[in-house]
Amino acid sequence: MQRFPYCSPRQVEWSLKFEVDRIEAASLDWGERREHAVAGNRQVWLKSRPNGIPKAEDFGIRDADVPPIGDGEFLVQNHYLSSDPAARGWIADASTYWPRIEIGDTMRAFAVGEIVESRNPHYSVGEKVMGLFGWQEYAAASDKHVNLKIAPSDLPLSLYLGVLGLNGFTAYFGLLDIGAPEAGDTVVVSTAAGAVGSCVGQIAKIKGCRTVGIAGGPEKARQCLEEFGYDAAIDYKGEIDLDEVLRRACPGGVHVYFDNTSGPISDAVLRNLAIGARIVICGTASYPSWNPWNTGPRPERHLLVKRARMQGFLATDFIGRFPEAEAQISQWIKEGRVNYREEMHEGLEHAPGSLQRLYKGENAGKFVIRLPAARSRSNA
Ligand SMILES: NC(=O)c1ccc[n+]([C@@H]2O[C@H](COP(=O)([O-])OP(=O)(O)OC[C@H]3O[C@@H](n4cnc5c(N)ncnc54)[C@H](OP(=O)(O)O)[C@@H]3O)[C@@H](O)[C@H]2O)c1
């Protein structure tokens, strides 16, 4: 229970189940099943292991077979694929929380798709699911690959990879359970215009907080103010003294800092904390690599003086509560209280270069890849 001090025993149980199952899932080799398969699956596979930001050349695209399914399995035809900054960690030399992807493996990725064949009584043909189905067109999957069963909805299916998927759930649980904001608090968010950050800012606003977004470039600062309702936006790439700008934007100090970057942005926020601040460690996008290990200013003195708490988390720690987040965020979207941005790309060919694009900050919202299946079927 100690590993997840802010989770209920039920959440911990789910989280541990998720971790163990994912380790098994990671070793499930789709390529091994070709003996009984039919042609027609395209996959993105890991060609070389980068140190730092993965480039397009680190991946290959291959034609493979549509895998046969065994007892308890079902065949998912992917409609949309996700590209996530976290994938850098999944292929790094020392993977940090899931087993690393080996050279030759199909790339692990979140996807949404439709079940087109099933040998599992709990999953029916025609149902839509979101889970770890990989950068490929078809996946032989079982219960352990699934993060969410998607009920018919008038919201677009692609959202279940972003604001109604891992990004939205990360924002929801990270802010509400780890950050514990109270009405009137000042909440500062880094990568504030991104898929996670834009959702954090809007949920904080719904909870009555004052929101300050930090993002790269004037266009993203504009999005923060005009599309995501931040009270103030800071372009950290501008010619500014970040400490000074933060001091002016947060005169009472920062009560909650949702940290997606670490690095110089976080160093400046830590110098501006309010007493009793909560720092939510969600991502470390600013690290160029993990080898050599990053060093920088030490946070302990700020935490001590401000009696602040810093805690990391994974959205998947909360997998048992994903339906709660999905229902709540869906409602907020329908009420016009949560807005989102997607950057939609057509075809598997866009997957290999996507991580580099994310780490250059070139993405304008959630990076989603649409596959041919999405064009030929209804999402409802
Ligand atoms: N803990 C979890 O369970 C969990 C789950 C999902 C995501 N995350 C983390 O949440 C963060 C945001 O993910 P996302 O999917 O929403 O991606 P995103 O924010 O849509 O895209 C990544 C953004 O990172 C920023 N960035 C890249 N390099 C940077 C650098 N050197 N310094 C500062 N910012 C940099 C860029 O924004 P700017 O242009 O504004 O710099 C870029 O647009 C990532 O760190 C990710 O790993 C954590």
Q: Is the pLDDT of residue 24 over 50?
A: no
Establish whether residue 198 lines the binding site of ligand 1, counting it when its CB lies within 6 angstroms of any ligand atom: no
Per-residue pLDDT at 40 exceeds 60: yes
Specify the DSSP class assigned to residue 146: E
Say yes or no: 53 and 117 in one domain.
Answer: yes
Q: Do 178 and 305 belong together in one domain?
A: yes
Q: Is 261 in the pocket of ligand 1 (CB under 6 A)?
A: yes
User: Residue 27 is part of a domain; what is its CATH number?
Assistant: 3.90.180.10
The Cα–Cα gap between 274 and 120 comes to: 52
**How far away, in angstroms, is 117 Cα from ligand 1 center?**
36
> Looking at the structure, do residues 278 and 260 belong to the same domain, yes or no?
yes
Q: pLDDT, tens digit, for every residue of 117-152?
A: 999 999 999 999 999 999 999 999 999 999 999 999
User: Is 27 inside a domain boundary?
Assistant: yes
The H-assigned helical ranges of the chain are 9-26, 87-91, 166-173, 195-206, 218-226, 242-249, 263-270, 300-305, 322-334, 354-359, 372-376
Together in a domain, 271 and 368: no
330: in domain: no
Number of domains in the chain: 2
Q: How confident is the model at residue 2 (pLDDT cuts 50, 70, 90)?
A: very low
Higher pLDDT, 159 or 288: 159
CATH code of the domain covering residue 217: 3.40.50.720
165 lines ligand 1 (CB under 6 A): no
Report in angstroms the alpha-carbon separations of 223 from 198, 213, 214, 340, 353: 9, 10, 11, 10, 24
Tell me: pLDDT of 247 over 90. yes
Q: Is residue 302 part of a domain?
A: yes
pLDDT interval class at 16 (50, 70, 90):
very low
A 10 A CB-CB count for 235 gives 19
Closest CA to 205 of 192, 194, 215, 222: 192
Task: Tell me how far apart the alpha carbons of residues 372 and 304 are, in angstroms, rounded to a whole number.
Answer: 54
The reply to whether 18 and 103 lie within a common domain is yes
Q: Average pLDDT in the 29-57 region?
A: 78
> Are residues 252 and 274 in contact, defined by beta-carbon separation less than 8 angstroms?
yes
Distance from the alpha carbon of residue 82 to the mean position of ligand 1, in angstroms: 14
The rounded distance, in Å, linking the Cα atoms of 293 and 312 is: 18
Do 224 and 192 lie in one domain? The reply is yes
Contact 220, 211 (CB under 8 A): no
pLDDT mean over 204-220: 98
Domain containing 65: what range?
9-162+340-376
Does 218 share its domain with 303?
A: yes
Query: Is there a single domain that holds both residue 111 and residue 217?
Result: no
Query: Does a structural domain hold residue 255?
Result: yes
| CA of residue 85 to ligand 1 center, whole Å | 6
Q: What is the pLDDT of residues 333-346, one digit of tens each?
A: 999 999 999 999 99
| Under 8 Å between Cβ of 44 and 135 | yes
Residues 341 and 227: beta-carbon distance below 8 Å: yes
Domain final residue, candidates 284, 316, 348:
316
Same domain, 58 and 147: yes
- Measured CA distances, 16 to 173, 292, 346 (Å): 17, 30, 36
Torsions phi, psi for 373 (to 5 deg):
-60, -30
Same domain? 104 vs 44: yes
Angstrom distances, CA of residue 67 to CA of 80, 264, 274, 347, 363 = 19, 46, 55, 20, 33
Given a cut of 90, whether residue 1 has pLDDT beyond it is: no
- Which of 316, 331, 355 is a domain's end point? 316
Backbone angles phi, psi at 193, to 5 degrees: -95, 0
**Pair (51, 106) in one structural domain:** yes
Give the three-class secondary structure for 125.
coil
Distance 51 CA to ligand 1 centre (A): 18
227 contact partners, CB below 8 Å, separation of at least 6: 193, 198, 339, 341
What is the average per-residue pLDDT within 104-117? 98
Q: Does residue 202 line the site of ligand 1, with CB under 6 A?
A: no
Question: Looking at the domain assignment, is residue 182 inside a domain?
Answer: yes
- Mutational test site, ligand 1, from 167, 191, 290, max ligand atoms within 8 Å of CB: 191
> Which pLDDT score is estimated for 95?
64
The reply to whether 1 falls in a domain is no
In a domain, 270, yes or no: yes
- Residues of the chain above pLDDT 70, percent: 89
pLDDT the model gives residue 162? 98
Determine the pLDDT at residue 15: 45
Q: Is the CB of 363 under 6 A from ligand 1?
A: yes
Q: Are residues 126 and 186 in the same domain?
A: no
Q: Which tokens is 36 given?
A: 């009984």
Residue 332 lies in a domain: no
